[in-house]
């Protein structure tokens, strides 16, 4: 039998220290999120934990298939290390903030730092990887336009790449 370290490497080194991808404050935030989602406090997030988390957020009728699909995204039981690895993999594919900002700036010809929400909605639903009506609603729920219907895309880009709003 190969030594423990060699075995891990041979298996693809699944954990290849995911903790080094994040700074201490980010890891603490992920730990808090994990703890909130682990409703039954068994150290794992399962279908029932997800159902309870959705219920706590006001979404009561989540389909079983939807919950199963979420759990199946993980390579196995979702403990904190797996949870962190999944976020690391999702974030790894995220474009740098500058790239996302540049994409919005194309629509902000006057350089004001915002674009009309209706205009962005139309572009998102008709161009390239089209958004559904539901995806647009989710985006505007998370990043509501101001009273004039403007979307602050700089803040949106910051949150996409950093996970939190600027102070």
CATH number of 95-160: 1.10.238.10
Mean pLDDT, the chain, integer: 82
DSSP string, the chain: ---HHHHHHHTT-TTTTGGGGS-HHHHHHHHHHHHHH-TT-SSSB-HHHHHHHHHHTT-----HHHHHHHHHTSSSSB-HHHHHHHHHHHHHTSPPHHHHHHHHHTT-TT--SEEEHHHHHHHHHHSSSPPPHHHHHHHHHHS---TTSEEEHHHHHHHHHHSS---
Give ranges for CATH 1.10.238.10 in the chain: 22-89, 95-160
Its pTM stands at 0.49
* Per-residue pLDDT band at 167 (split at 50, 70, 90): low
* Per-residue pLDDT band at 156 (split at 50, 70, 90): confident
CATH T-level topology, domain 22-89: Recoverin; domain 1 (1.10.238)
pLDDT at 98 over 70: yes
């Amino acid at each position: 039998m190969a030594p423990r370290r060699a075995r891990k490497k041979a298996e693809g080194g699944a954990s290849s220290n995911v903790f080094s991808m994040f700074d201490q404050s980010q890891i603490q935030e992920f730990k808090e999120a994990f703890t909130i989602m682990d409703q039954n406090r068994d150290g794992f997030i399962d279908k029932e934990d997800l159902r309870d988390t959705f219920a706590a957020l006001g979404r009561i009728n989540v389909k079983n298939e939807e919950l199963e699909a979420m759990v199946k995204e993980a390579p196995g039981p979702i403990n904190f290390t797996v949870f962190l690895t999944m976020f690391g993999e999702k974030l790894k594919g995220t474009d740098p903030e500058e790239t996302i900002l540049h994409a919005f700036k194309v629509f902000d010809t006057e350089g004001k730092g915002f674009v009309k929400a209706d205009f962005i909605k139309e572009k998102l639903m008709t161009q390239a990887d089209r958004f559904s009506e539901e995806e647009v609603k989710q985006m505007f729920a998370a990043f509501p336009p101001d009273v004039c219907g403007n979307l602050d895309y700089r803040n949106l880009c910051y949150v996409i790449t950093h996970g939190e709003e600027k102070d």
